Chains A and B, each alone.
Chain A
Amino acid sequence: MHEMSLAEGILRIIEEQAAARGFDRVLRVRLEVGRLAGVEIEALRFSFDAVMRESVAESAVLEIVDVPGQGWCLDCAATVEIDALYAACPHCGGYRVQASGGLEMRVLDLEVDTTDPLP
């Protein structure tokens, strides 16, 4: 939906961390993105590559941990797995399913290194 915005948000988090923790290169960025978060993964990868240019994460590998979608079926009174906001309950086939999980988009961790200062 707004993957360029998300990539900018990721860069902001990385730059804050780089300033606070004193690393100057990011080798790997691990995100957690829920299937119901409305994020187009390929568009996010495209944006990530464009946004990270000339930053500490220029050459970082982007790894995305997929989080399955979950919903609460009002009729079954149970948590069920759904892969889209408009999906029916896999048990009863009804649509009274309220999305409850898989909505997250978070930066989990970074693999970083620090350039040794020149002697």
Chain B
Amino acid sequence: MCTVCGCGEGETRVEGQPTGGHAHEHQHADGTVHSHAHPHHHGHEHSHEHAHVHEHRHADGTVHAHAHDHAHAHGHGTGHDHDHPHAHVHGQGDDFHYGHGPAHAHAPGLSQERMVRIEQDILGKNNAYAENNRNLFETNGILALNLVSSPGSGKTSLLTATIERLRGRYPVSVIEGDQQTSNDAERIRATGVPAVQVNTGKGCHLDAHMIGHAVDHLKLEGRGLLLIENVGNLVCPSAFDLGEAHKVVILSVTEGEDKPLKYPDMFNASDLMILNKVDLLPYVDFDVERCIEYARRINPRLEVLQLSARTGEGMDAWLNWLQTAMGPEASPAAVEDVEALRRRVAELEAELQAVRGGG
């Protein structure tokens, strides 16, 4: 279940097992009541814009007509039939707002009004879960990366190519996020590494609570790499910290080079951009330099790697990047070196003492 937004509630599945759901009852202004389970997220699937004129008759008999524009997004196919909330944009000078609902009458006798200071981040709950995940990863020496992109940029191919090359170097685990199917987790498991599939149902992003559940299914022991493949979506996942060390945004050269400008939030939230499918550059009109320039307009500190998961071109630079991000390895050899140096320092100090004592 998405604990932040409630999206996909009742449809989120970790390895096919539901993680919770609940039913809602609604009473509409006309007195009708209906209840329905809430397996939907309204904020995606498709959006459309309306521009039309409405005429309203108010309780006092006045009628006015006004035009309004609104764009709204909502999910269909959830078996959920509802009248659209009356969300008219009422214009008053520069102040436009959607309707306040029918019950905006303040009955006398209900007082004790007061102000309550909150000062809470709207995504605070998610961020708290993310911090727990981050602590868990750091304590276990796990480098967690959150891989984000549009659908079809080649994330899963990049994962399998990376896993092949890391074989025997350090353990890799994968969390796969998709709205439906466990196809991607199966592709990863075929390479021999543990993978957990999270189906977000109608949800458009992974959140930190889902990752907490998914990690319970993985045995994270000792130093290693955790690759989290987010839902293919360049918008929503940007706001949801999963506890990762870095967000890595993947863009393929078969997409538009201006995507960084079109979807700036994701490029701002990421530390590394991977330009994938560079083997196709001769066949597409994709200006690499311009794309990088656009991405750095959004985020001047963004690192960039160009590679092809299919041909292997540029994969070494990616593996080096991973190695650097993992940090220096506390290998047995390194530990021995430190021990040897300590012994040598002790010996030298003893000699110095001896010289001073003798002099």
Contacts and interface: CB of A to CB of B under 8 A. Distances in A.
A49 B121 CA distance: 20
B99 interface: yes
Interface in B208-247: 235-236, 238-239
Q: What band does the interface of chain B fall in when counting residues whose beta carbon is under 8 Å from A?
A: 35 or more
A110 B115 contact: yes
Nearest to A36: B268
A91 interface: no
A50 B72 CA distance: 12
A5 B106 CA distance: 29
Contacts of B301: 98
Contacts of B113: 27, 111-113
Contact of B97 (A5, A45, A47, A58): A45
Interface residues of A, number: 58
B321 interface: no
Given A38-B238, A53-B26, A108-B119, A46 B98 contact: yes
A113 B101 contact: no
Nearest to B100: A61
A42 B97 CA distance: 7
Contacts of B356: none
B87 interface: yes
B110 A12 contact: no
B120 interface: yes
A104 interface: yes
Interface of B: 2, 4-7, 24-27, 41-44, 70-73, 85, 87, 89, 96-101, 103-106, 109-126, 204-205, 235-236, 238-239, 260-261, 264-265, 267-268, 293-294, 296-301
16 contacts: A4-B7, A4-B41, A5-B6, A8-B4, A10-B122, A31-B122, A47-B42, A49-B85, A49-B87, A49-B98, A49-B100, A53-B101, A111-B114, A116-B109, A116-B110, A116-B112
